[in-house]
């Protein structure tokens, strides 16, 4: 120990006290050590010494860090939640625990999260909302804390695998029909969620035409996994034969997704006409078959004599 307080000279009156603070630097060895403090006391009559040993424990145990929650894939430029458990492996309390996320292209919406103090053997769980970029390869979860008067930082690095979320909502559009009216055209259909998560705040709109009341947009709301909903839009003045149906929704973290479906107006109307009008050839065949069946039935009845008037029967 090398400190100016060692050479401090002062008077200490009866009933008084003095506090001296000595910084201690430990070497690499772990265990319990017993340094001592020596105090020289002198007055006009004699000089005496007080030597007081005290225990110092050197412990290199740090904190335990483990990921409790993370997405399978980190989609670029979307918010994802990462859960981190912090355990205090030391025999003393650690204070001012602060957690943040860092790395190339990594940002943390909270900036940092204050977890407070952790008693020996205690743990705490924090959740960070992180955003990554396309070229992000790893996320560093940095935990800083005070052990006594000293600051320490431990880091847990998790690899980032980019891609689209496999458990998200996945929309399919079926049964599309287009009906022309006097002042506007109506398009209807069914939207099905074949994904594993709810499509929240689902709104259906269109591009390529002028939306018009009564249904310029159609609000579905939350569409659960395996859910089905009808939608209806009204428009006028289409720019071309194609319309783009836009399905806008959010996930559990508030990220917005837009799914687009292109529809050919003429193709849908032709398909609708075929269904409603029927096939004329098939209709003709059906009429002929019906006539043959009726004629055959009449012939059988006549042959049995059921059509001969009673007065002519012998």
For the segment 24-54, what is each residue's pLDDT rounded down to a tens digit? 777 777 788 888 888 777 776 777 788 888 8
| CATH number of residue 130's parent domain | 2.60.40.10
**Is the pLDDT reported for residue 10 higher than 70?**
no
Query: Alpha-carbon torsion 151, 31, 6, 38, what sign?
Result: positive
Residue 289: what pLDDT? 65
pLDDT of 306 > 60? The answer is no
Structure confidence at residue 305 as a pLDDT band (50, 70, 90): low
189-232 residue pLDDT tens: 999 998 888 999 999 999 999 999 999 999 999 999 899 999 99
Tokens of 182: 């006097």
Please indicate, yes or no, whether residues 78 and 93 belong to a single structural domain of this protein: yes
- Is 18 contained in some domain? yes
Task: Provide the percentage of residues in the chain whose pLDDT is more than 90.
Answer: 40
Strand partners, 250: 200, 256
Mean pLDDT across 10-14? 74
123 — phi, psi (to 5°)? -140, 160
- When divided into structural domains, the chain yields a total of 3
pLDDT band at 61; cut points 50, 70, 90: confident
Residues 6+ apart with CB under 8 A from 202: 191, 219, 220, 221, 222, 223, 229, 247, 248, 249
| 98 pLDDT more than 70 | yes
When pLDDT is averaged across residues 128-132 and rounded to a whole number, the result is 92
- Based on the domain organization, do 92 and 71 belong to the same domain? yes
Mean pLDDT, residues 274-293 taken together:
54
* Domain that residue 100 falls in: 63-159
Backbone φ and ψ for 260, nearest 5 degrees, come out as -115, 140
Answer with the residue of higher pLDDT: 140 or 91. Answer: 140
pLDDT of 279 above 70: no
State residue 181's pLDDT score. Answer: 85
The average pLDDT across 126-139 equals: 91
Percent of the chain residues past pLDDT 70, beyond the cut: 80
Q: Is 263 contained in some domain?
A: yes
Between the alpha carbon of residue 280 and those of residues 177, 275, 286, 293, the distances in Å are 22, 11, 10, 20
| pLDDT for 79 beyond 80 | yes
In a domain, 45, yes or no: yes
Residue 270 has pLDDT above 80, yes or no: no
159, 186, 201 - which closes a domain: 159
- What is the structure's pLDDT at 257? 87
Main-chain dihedrals φ then ψ at residue 156, nearest 5 degrees: -115, 125
What is the model's pLDDT at position 312? 44
Question: pTM of the full predicted structure?
Answer: 0.55
Asked if 181 and 235 sit in the same domain, the reply is: yes
Same domain membership, residue 175 and residue 150? no
- For residue 284, pLDDT over 70 is answered with no
Mean pLDDT across 68-87: 89
Give pLDDT, residue 12: 72
Q: What is the mean pLDDT of residues 137-162?
A: 90
Which residue, of 124, 159, 194, is where some domain finishes?
Answer: 159
Do residues 205 and 110 share a domain?
A: no
Are residues 189 and 251 located together in one domain of the fold?
yes
In a domain, 190, yes or no: yes
CATH of the domain at 270: 2.60.40.1230
281 within some domain: no
The rounded mean pLDDT for the chain is 82
Residue 246 within any structural domain of the chain? yes
Q: What is the pLDDT of residues 99-109, one digit of tens each?
A: 999 999 999 98
- The radius of gyration of the chain from alpha carbons, rounded to an integer in Å, stands at 41
**Alpha-carbon gap, residue 19 to 34, rounded angstroms:** 20
Given this model, what pLDDT does residue 101 score? 94
């Amino acid at each position: 120990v090398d400190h100016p307080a060692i050479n401090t000279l002062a008077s200490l009156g009866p009933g008084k006290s003095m506090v001296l603070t000595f910084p201690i630097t430990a070497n690499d060895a772990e265990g319990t050590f017993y340094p001592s403090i020596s105090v020289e006391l002198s007055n006009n009559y004699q000089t005496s010494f007080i030597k007081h040993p005290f225990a110092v424990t050197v412990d290199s145990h740090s904190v335990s860090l483990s990921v409790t929650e993370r997405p399978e894939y980190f989609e670029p430029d979307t918010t994802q939640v990462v859960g981190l458990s912090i355990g205090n492996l030391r025999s003393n309390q650690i204070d001012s625990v602060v957690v943040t996320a860092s790395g190339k292209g990594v940002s943390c919406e909270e900036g940092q999260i204050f977890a407070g103090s952790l008693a020996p053997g205690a743990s705490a769980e924090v959740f960070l909302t992180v955003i990554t970029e396309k070229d992000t390869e790893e996320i560093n979860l940095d935990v800083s804390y005070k052990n006594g008067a000293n600051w320490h930082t431990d880091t847990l690095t998790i690899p980032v695998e980019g891609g689209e979320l496999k458990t998200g909502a996945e929309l399919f559009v079926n049964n599309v029909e287009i009906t022309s009216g006097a002042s506007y055209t109506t398009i209807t259909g069914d939207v099905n969620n074949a994904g594993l998560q709810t499509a929240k705040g689902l709104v259906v709109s269109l591009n390529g035409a002028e939306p018009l009341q009564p249904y310029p947009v159609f609000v579905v709301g939350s569409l659960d996994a395996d859910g089905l909903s009808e939608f209806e839009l009204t428009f006028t003045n289409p720019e071309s034969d194609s319309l783009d149906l836009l399905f806008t929704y959010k996930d559990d973290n508030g990220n917005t997704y837009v799914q687009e479906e292109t529809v050919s107006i003429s193709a849908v109307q032709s398909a609708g006409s075929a269904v409603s009008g029927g096939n004329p050839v098939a209709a003709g065949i059906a009429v002929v078959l019906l006539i043959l069946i009726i004629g055959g039935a009449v012939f059988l009845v006549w042959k049995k004599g059921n059509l001969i008037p009673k007065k002519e029967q012998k």
